[in-house]
Amino acid sequence: GPNARVGQYNGVLIARINEDVSLADFETGAIQTVADVEQAYWNLVTAYRLLDTIVKAREAALQTWQIQKARLEVGTGRADDEAQARSQYYQFDAQVKNALAGQGGLYESEQQLRYLVGLAATDGSLIKPTTEPTDARVIFDWDSALAQALQRRVEIRQQKMQVQRRELELTAAKLNFQPRLDFLGQYRYQGIGDHLVPGFYENMFDGNYQEWQAGIELS
């Protein structure tokens, strides 16, 4: 390439590979963004499932507490049983609140999904997945997956590009041992005069001050 120095090569083939590497970097970013959105979606699904489970457990604990409380009031229950049932209910109630607003809870998972897909942080609504995940068993073909990965995975293609670039740089480095002979040429008009108009333009169009240079350079 032009103006190349030892260790810095900018030929057409190397420039093309560099452009492919840049496109691969963009592809990597796009793939990572899609993966992050998918992961955030399933984290939200899991948060809803966990919340539903804890809410049902809290409802069951509330019913148990009410039964023990009623038995204690009529004299057929024990105070320690009522206290234990009450304690379990409040424990489940705290877990429900933590599943909603705690670290890694439903609200945080929903905010993360909003951020990734570019939605406003607050718009008066709450995102809730409605499509149930499939429970069908999926059997993957390992050989087919491996073949597709070797051909399509962007990081593998990037490594192949790096190898190609190094090979071309090695070729360019070997060419540095060879002599370089360049032909140099220059031809131009000059406008000479004390005034821009008419001296400069008259000399330009009359062609009185033309000059040319020619030569060779061996390095």
pLDDT of residue 185: 96
pLDDT of residue 113: 94
As to burial, measured by CB atoms within 10 angstroms (0-12 exposed, 13-18 middle, 19+ buried), residue 44 is buried
Q: What is the pLDDT along the chain (219 residues), one digit of tens a residue?
A: 766 677 778 788 988 999 999 999 999 999 999 999 999 999 999 999 999 999 999 999 999 999 999 998 888 888 898 999 999 999 999 999 999 999 889 999 999 999 999 999 888 899 998 888 888 998 999 999 999 988 889 999 999 999 999 999 898 888 878 888 889 999 987 767 676 666 666 666 777 778 899 999 998
Residue 164 neighbours by CB under 8 Å, 6+ apart = 17
CB-based contact 86:65 (threshold 8 Å)? yes
Residue in the structure block whose two tokens are 């933590």: 98
pLDDT of residue 177: 80
pLDDT of residue 145: 92
CA separation for the pair 62, 116 (Å, rounded): 38
- Which helix (H) or strand (E) segment holds residue 216: the answer is strand 210-218
pLDDT of residue 198: 67
- 90-125: pLDDT as tens digits: 999 999 999 999 988 999 999 999 999 999 988 889
Query: In terms of Cα–Cα distance, which of 59, 145, 47 is closest to 102?
Result: 47
CB-based contact 110:126 (threshold 8 Å)? yes
CB-based contact 74:66 (threshold 8 Å)? no
- 13-33: pLDDT as tens digits: 988 999 999 999 999 999 999
CB-based contact 2:169 (threshold 8 Å)? no
Query: In terms of Cα–Cα distance, which of 114, 140, 116, 138 is closest to 128?
Result: 114
pLDDT of residue 201: 67
Query: In terms of Cα–Cα distance, which of 175, 134, 195 is closest to 4?
Result: 175
pLDDT of residue 193: 66
